[in-house]
Each structure stands twice: as C-alpha cells, then as structure tokens.
Structure 1
Amino acid sequence: MERPRDLEKALRSPARCVEARLDPYRGELAPVVDLLGELARSKTLIVTVRSPAEGGHFKGSEEERLSVYLKALDAAPQYVDVELAAKIREDVVRAKGPAKAILSRHDFGGTPDLEILRGWVREAEEGGADVVKIATTARSWDDNFKVLSLVGRGGKPVVAFAMGPLGVMSRIFAPLMGAPFTYAALDAPAAPGQLSYGAMEAIYSSLGIYSNLSSLPDMRAALDAVDSALIHLLKLRLEICRDIGRLKKSLGLSVYDDSREAEVLKRAGDFKQLFDLVVQMCKAVQIVVPT
C-alpha cells in the first residue's frame, strides 16, 4: 500500500496480509498509525519505510526514517521490513518489540550469482532477521529458478522472487514452495511484474489450493479469495469486450451477434442465467465505447 486511501481500501479488502508502504506519506502520521492499528487487529500487517536506494520514495534523512518506523511500531504490526543494507537496520530490529523483522535486499539491475544470493540470506539471518526477503530482477527465465532455490533452504523463512515481466512466475510459485507470503497489488502495481490481488487469487483458485478445507473461517476465506478472482476475471472480460466493440465500430459491424451470444449461453450450462447478465453488461460496454 503506497497511498493514504489504500489503507482504507485494504481494511475493506479480503486480503489476509497487507504491506503498508509508509515512505510516500507526507505530513502528520497520527491518523495513519490509527489506520495501521485497525489493519493489525484484523489482518497480518507488514510496515516498511522503503529507502530510495531500494525502490522507495522517502525524502528525509535516515534519522527521520527511523522516527517513522518507531511511530509505525506503535500500531503493533506483525512484521516490520527494513533493508539489510540500511544504516538504521539494527535500530529497527532492536525496537521491533513483538513484531517480526523482515530484512530485505532488492536488486533492480538483475539477479546475481547464486553464491551472492545465498550470502545475502546468511547475512540477513545473522543480522537478526525473522524472515528474509530477496527481490531481484529477472533478465532470463533461469533467474526465476535461481531465486526460488533460496526458499526453504535457510534457517529462517525466506521470501524470494524476481521482479519484471520475466519474473512473474517466481511471484506465483514462491508461496507454493514454502515462502510465507508473496506480493500482489490491490490497485496499481507497486513494482515491476507485480500482478493484481484478483489475478493471483484466480491463479491459486485454479490450482486448487482452496480445496479440502475443514473449518468455517478457512471456507469463508476461500470464498473471499474466489470472489476476488471472479471480480478480476469479470473486469478482464469487460475490457476485452470494450476492445471488441471498438474494433466492430471501426469495421462498421453491428454490436449484436445473436449466433455468438447463443453459443456463449449454451456453453454456460447451469450458469446460463448468470451468463445472460454478464453478456448484457458486455453488450452495454460495446455500445457506449468511443471509436
């Protein structure tokens, strides 16, 4: 989360774990800390004040950044994330209280050799990490396998993935291989190659990770995840239909295609009534789309 309104959106979202990025915030932090406290009471909360050196937007000194961390810790988050190379790392780790420390390392230029990556993990573990986060940039498909090989191999839990378009698969597979969590966007992506929360839930739902549940809370959480996936796919369908409508208008074709509509509804089977509503929504989008 990078904008003030994102915290309120996160409170309403079905996401069970939220990262609050405080580095873009300006002005009084007290109202933000109150919102963070609400998040920490209802979800798993990670707070971070990312430095410009590792993709953040904080404008002040390291002493000022430490002050923001200390205020954020008043909200009792479950995790606090600080860069492994930060001068204030030891101060944040000492002040974290019951929160768990995520020591992170980001490489926006590429993915180093495996020995360097393993060295970062060891350094983080020795530096007081409860969780190690390694985020590199994929320049080849092999970079995905390189960073994923870090997951489950250290003495502490490791979150490892590659950023960028070529690294999407590592974001998806990291939790399936044992990482405690992965990163997605509730709204606009905050990092290269980041997928939306709905897109990630659509993938995980399709993989069957929400099957064979036994408790009511888990079942309800699974329903929330599937709902997020459905909303994502419905938005995607509307976007495609909008493009189809634009193309039809440019070609002088009619928006209505009775045979195509009948084919879609026939495929819907028991969901014909539901798909009829979806088709009508998509037709409406095609009608009003500008040329």
Structure 2
Amino acid sequence: MPKICVPMVGKTNEELREEAEYLSKMDIDLVEWRVDFYQDVENVEAVRDASVQIREILGGIPLLFTFRSAKEGGEKEVGLDYYATLNKAMIETKCMDMIDVELFIDEKVMRNLIKVAQHNQVKVIISNHDFEKTPPKEEIVSRLRKAQDLGADIPKIAVMPRNEKDVLTLLEATNEMKNQYAKQPIITMAMAGKGVISRLAGEIFGSAITFGAAKKASAPGQVGVEELKSVLKLIHQNVKEK
C-alpha cells in the first residue's frame, strides 16, 4: 500500500508549529515541509531553527525537506548557490530524513548534495514537475531513469493532464518504469482533478508514495488524508485477495 505524505505549508513559525501539532496526531507515514511557503526561507538560520522545532513536535514521523522552485510550481525562486546552501544546511541539521532535489538543477550541485546526504544518512528524492502538460510516455520514463541513474533513492515525477489520455500516459509510464527499470521505489502522479485516480492507484501501477492534504493542499488534486486512506485500504484489500 502506498505511503501517505502530507505537506506543511505554513508561512510563519506559529503556523508551522500549529501544522506540526496537528499532523503529529494523525496516522500518516511522512510529512513534507514545503519550505518555499515559509516567509523566512531566505534566512538559513531561521529555517534551521524552525526545522528543529518541527522535528521536536513531529517526534518519530519521517520528515521530507522540499524547496520547490517557482519554475516547477513552487512559491519562490532563489539562486542556485542559495538553493545548494539551504539544502546542505538542512541535511546537516540531522532533523531531516529526506530531501527533495529537482532533476533539472545544475548536475554538479546535485551530485554534491547527494554526496552530503549520503554522508549524513539522509535519503534523496530527485523530482520533476511539469505544470503545463504531460510529456510522452517515453519522456516520463526517461526522466525517472535519469533521476535513478543520478543516484536518487526515490525518483519522482508529477505532470499536468490536459485530458483523460494524459492520465493514462502517466499510468502507463509508471507501470513500465516499475516493471522494467526501477531499482527502488518511485513516485508518480498526474495533478488536478483529472489526475486524482493516479494518486489513488499507486499500488496497481507502481507509485510508492501519494500526497494528501490535511489543512491546505500544496498542489492541485491532493485529496484529504482520511478519504485518501480509506480508498488506499480498499484497493489494497482487493489487490491482496486476488
């Protein structure tokens, strides 16, 4: 059954503490701190201090650190040097279990972040988000394989469907990657309303983590956690029986 990850999107320390308290009481597998929503994101010390508080409140729930750039659907754009500095600092806090690194950043920066993460026993998701369209199946598979080859612990791709056929394209690519190339778990999804089925059917097609909303969604098409969990369980029970 796919793991459920819930994003934290607080803008202030108070909002983040409230979110963390709320999530700490939920039956979820993973929390993603979308730090690009945070008002002090360009202050490394502020981010570091907030991460310590979040870690303390969440207890043993695994924590994923993500700065999503504006060009991939995030709230903010920063320079490459700062992106690298911020991620490196968060790896070294020991507060993070995983970090998200974007597939199309500078490869030298990426390889260095992966090296630092491995040294600190932090897992790396290498991700790509296309908010405009759904690439052809071959391109989706190619991007996932590239992320894997670069050293991702988990390759991830999210695409925007313009029609139902695009959703099928994403699911076919997921299934092909899982059955022919994947050496570890992968994450895939089609966004928005048309793509909701892809967030529910990971166990069938091969996506290991799905993102659900607790209070506020971080991307279009995220389903509420309780609804998400009930559907995942329903699918899981039937898959096991057959």
Q: Report the TM-score, using the length of structure 1 for normalisation.
A: 0.66
Are the equivalent residues in 2 in contact too, given 1:144–1:170 (CA < 8 A)?
Answer: yes
Give the AA of the match of 1:19.
Answer: E
Distance 1:134 1:6, change over 3 A: same
Are the equivalent residues in 2 in contact too, given 1:54–1:107 (CA < 8 A)?
Answer: yes
Are the equivalent residues in 2 in contact too, given 1:172–1:200 (CA < 8 A)?
Answer: yes
Q: Which stretches in structure 1 are left out of the alignment for 5+ residues?
A: 213-291
Are the equivalent residues in 1 in contact too, given 2:9–2:37 (CA < 8 A)?
Answer: yes
1:181 aligned partner: 209
Structure 2 counterparts to residues 35-184 of structure 1, below 5 A: 35-38=53-56, 41-73=59-91, 74-87=93-106, 88-96=109-117, 97-149=120-172, 150-151=174-175, 152-153=178-179, 154-184=182-212
Distance 1:92 1:111, change over 3 A: same
Distance 1:188 1:208, change over 3 A: same
> Matched residues in 1 for 2:25 and 2:209: separation?
20
Are the equivalent residues in 2 in contact too, given 1:175–1:182 (CA < 8 A)?
Answer: no
> Matched residues in 2 for 1:182 and 1:14: separation?
14
1:26 aligned partner: 39
Distance 1:111 1:208, change over 3 A: closer
> Matched residues in 1 for 2:71 and 2:198: separation?
23
Distance 1:114 1:178, change over 3 A: closer
Distance 1:69 1:9, change over 3 A: farther
Q: Secondary structure at the match of 1:155?
A: coil
1:10 aligned partner: 23
Report the Cα offset of residue 160 of structure 1.
0.9
> Matched residues in 2 for 1:10 and 1:75: separation?
20
Are the equivalent residues in 2 in contact too, given 1:101–1:131 (CA < 8 A)?
Answer: yes
> Matched residues in 1 for 2:54 and 2:90: separation?
8
Q: Which moved more, 1:141-150 or 1:43-52?
A: 141-150
Are the equivalent residues in 2 in contact too, given 1:66–1:92 (CA < 8 A)?
Answer: yes
> Matched residues in 1 for 2:94 and 2:151: separation?
21
Distance 1:55 1:187, change over 3 A: same
Q: Secondary structure at the match of 1:183?
A: strand
> Matched residues in 1 for 2:188 and 2:229: separation?
19
Give the AA of the match of 2:70.
Answer: P
Q: Secondary structure at the match of 1:23?
A: helix
Match of 1:202 among 223, 230, 234: 230
> Matched residues in 2 for 1:143 and 1:173: separation?
15
> Matched residues in 2 for 1:200 and 1:70: separation?
33
Equivalences, count: 212
Q: Which stretches in structure 2 are left out of the alignment for 5+ residues?
A: 1-7, 11-15, 41-45
Are the equivalent residues in 2 in contact too, given 1:131–1:159 (CA < 8 A)?
Answer: yes
Q: Secondary structure at the match of 1:77?
A: coil
Give the AA of the match of 1:68.
Answer: L
Q: Secondary structure at the match of 1:18?
A: strand
Report the Cα offset of residue 38 of structure 1.
3.0
- Tell me the C-alpha RMSD between the 2 structures: 2.3
Q: Report the TM-score, using the length of structure 2 for normalisation.
A: 0.79
Higher RCO (CA < 8 A, seq sep 6+): 2
1:128-165 C-alpha deviation (Å, 9 max, x unpaired): 11111010011122222222232423233211110011
Report the Cα offset of residue 192 of structure 1.
1.1
Question: What percentage of aligned pairs have identical amino acids?
Answer: 25
1:229-258 C-alpha deviation (Å, 9 max, x unpaired): xxxxxxxxxxxxxxxxxxxxxxxxxxxxxx
Report the Cα offset of residue 79 of structure 1.
1.7
